[in-house]
Amino acid sequence: MLMPLHRNGNLSMVYFQDFVLEGFEGGLETQALFFAIFLTLYMVTVLGNLAMIVVITLDARLHSPMYFFLKNLSFLDLCYSSVIAPNALANFFYPPKVITFAGCATQLFFFSLLATTEAFLLGVMAYDRFMAICSPLHYPITMCPSACTLLVLGSYCGGCLNSVVQTTFTFRLSFCSSNRINHFFCDVPPLLQLACGNTTINELLLFGICGLIIVGVALVILISYGYITVTILRMHSAAGRRKVFSTCGSHMTAVTLFFGTVFVMYAQPGAIESMDQGKVVSVFYTLVIPMLNPLIYSLRNKDVQEALQRLGQKHMATLRMCWRKCVLRAGWRPRRDSEL
């Protein structure tokens, strides 16, 4: 990384190989508190999303397009929180808080890839609900396994394209005056603050592409749920309406949380200058939302709750069977009252 510095009126070139992630300010007690918060959020995120992936994979009744997309959503939440949290946790008690130039670029690339893919996937999930509720007769054909796979791959391709553009244009800049990033992970806005060149193109790309993605996906979601709402109101079955509202309500909650925080961070002018606010917002979409998504979809979804119960009962039965086999092999049996 080339960083030009002015010394005594002359331009000299200094090469830096590392960035420093400043993270959150505060003494040892404050850092310990942040560490405990981050660790708790990350552990719940990992356990919750792994549980969703395992349950959907093992329960044949959940092998439908909706749960296929939900499993991919859990995978994305697990991955993109893992891109950020482990390094952030290490930096709370490791004073240098250093990340290499290549490590910073890699973290930005994968974070941008996974977060953008999740945005597209939320739009795909809304389209899936639209087809299932508004066109149930065509749903099995339209949302066949190959179509679902292509939609997920398309989401990843869109995420990869945005990630390549953002990472390439960000790290083509020269960074001067400081290598200290005012954030707890490598992201575009805090990196642009360190750039010594003109960042107008980068800001236009950030706000333009992110704004286009947010607005485009939001329109797909709003139109889908507009048709869904009309269809629900026409239903004669109150139980059917409640079930549909429960399923769609979970998705709309996840969409509102994700796009609300992302819009504040990336799609409004002035976001680059307010990095203290940006750190707090970043905690929400990197840790809090990935932690909440499994809870939102499991607590409001009877199918997932029943699948969790079946999986628990199955494992308990397996444990009892293993225990009995171990007892028989050991030749031990409990004494009856008549033998005492």
User: Tens of pLDDT along 12-26?
Assistant: 444 456 888 888 887
- 339 belongs to a structural domain: no
- 3 belongs to a structural domain: no
Lowest mean pLDDT among 10-24, 101-115, 120-134, 156-170: 10-24
- 1 belongs to a structural domain: no
Cβ-in-10-Å burial (0-12, 13-18, 19+) of 232 comes to middle
- Pick the residue with more confidence: 156 or 208? 156
Structural domain total, the chain: 1
State which of 97-101, 296-300, 319-323 shows the largest mean pLDDT.
97-101
> In the structure, what pLDDT confidence band is assigned to residue 233 with cuts at 50, 70 and 90?
confident
As a whole number, mean pLDDT of residues 119-142 equals 92
Supply the CATH number for residue 150's domain. Answer: 1.20.1070.10
- 74 belongs to a structural domain: yes
Q: Which of these, 22, 1, 21, lies nearest to 13 by C-alpha position?
A: 1
State which of 32-46, 258-272, 280-294 shows the largest mean pLDDT.
32-46
Is residue 132 classed as helix, strand or coil in its secondary structure? helix
Extended beta strands in 67-177, E state: 98-100
As a whole number, mean pLDDT of residues 299-320 equals 69
Domain limits for position 299:
18-315
- Pick the residue with more confidence: 340 or 303? 303
pLDDT surpasses 60 at 209: yes
- 335 belongs to a structural domain: no
Token code pair at residue 134: 């508004």
Q: Are 220 and 127 in contact (CB under 8 A)?
A: yes
Compute the distance between CA of residue 270 and CA of residue 265 in angstroms, rounded to an integer.
9
Q: What is the pLDDT, as a whole number, of residue 333?
A: 54
- Pick the residue with more confidence: 26 or 113? 113
Q: What is the pLDDT, as a whole number, of residue 176?
A: 76
- 336 belongs to a structural domain: no
Token code pair at residue 94: 């490791």
pLDDT surpasses 60 at 8: no
> In the structure, what pLDDT confidence band is assigned to residue 59 with cuts at 50, 70 and 90?
confident
Q: What percent of the chain has pLDDT over 90?
A: 34
As a whole number, mean pLDDT of residues 207-230 equals 89
- 238 belongs to a structural domain: yes
pLDDT surpasses 70 at 2: no
- 331 belongs to a structural domain: no
Token code pair at residue 179: 């290598």
Question: 99: alpha, beta or left, given left = phi > 0 and alpha = psi -120 to 50?
Answer: beta
Q: Are 163 and 109 in contact (CB under 8 A)?
A: yes
| pTM score | 0.83
